[in-house]
Amino acid sequence: SQQGEEDPQALSIQEGENATMNCSYKTSINNLQWYRQNSGRGLVHLILIRSNEREKHSGRLRVTLDTSKKSSSLLITASRAADTASYFCATAFSWANQGGKLIFGQGTELSVKP
Amino acid sequence: EPEVTQTPSHQVTQMGQEVILRCVPISNHLYFYWYRQILGQKVEFLVSFYNNEISEKSEIFDDQFSVERPDGSNFTLKIRSTKLEDSAMYFCASLYRGSSYEQYFGPGTRLTVT
């Protein structure tokens, strides 16, 4: 399998519910980032968590990172119809190693029904 | 808020033709990237660029591809002889390397090769 795999591939929930997306990766990283992409649009950075952090919050977003399991989760609480988008995790390596390039996962397509 | 811009938003070209995709990164950013996303697939790293030279390139970035920063503001991706499989969304990103690894993405150029 490849660096940055996510599950589920698609998630459909009702407005107000929480959405949880998971990401797994294979090699050591410097940090892991989550991006959102609305259909046919660009990528919007949501949150970054460093390898020495375990949890991070930003508004309705909560990200966890378990480096021993090489996995991360993104929780969106109290979801809204406007959260409907694809969500990607992306891993970044040390600058000494690979100059900051991002390796993206396959993404989770989230649909929030009003 | 400063943003990365890309032109054109959509480019249609015939197989074998040369295309140049243009990006204007955020003005004080030092690192520049190109990624591509084939429809329905994940975002893939193509190339990173720093200090007027390529820092790293992926296997996708073969001799048909080149990048250039012709002046202080533009960052271009050239595909010399396009193939059908080059059809994709191409994203430019830039990064100001402080303590942040957060890349700022442009809205993308959709390239259609017929």
Contact across the interface for B43 and A88, Cβ inside 8 Å? yes
Residues of A in contact with B45 (CB under 8 A): 101-104
For residue range A92-102, list pLDDT tens digits in order. Answer: 886 655 567 89
Place of tokens 């929480």: A18
CA distance A106 to A90: 10
Residue B93 has pLDDT above 90, yes or no: yes
pLDDT of residue A54: 97
Cis peptide before A8 (omega within 30 of 0): yes
Is the pLDDT assigned to residue A1 strictly greater than 50?
no
Q: What is the pLDDT of residues A7-37, one digit of tens each?
A: 888 999 999 999 999 999 988 888 999 999 9
How far apart are the C-alpha atoms of B95 and B93, rounded to whole Å?
A: 7
pLDDT digits (tens, 9 = 90+) for B24-74: 999 989 899 999 999 888 899 999 998 889 988 999 999 999 999 988 789
Q: Judge whether B77 and B34 are in contact, CB under 8 Å.
A: yes
In chain B, residues 16-75 whose CB comes closer than 8 Å to chain A: 31, 33, 35, 41-45, 48, 50, 55-56
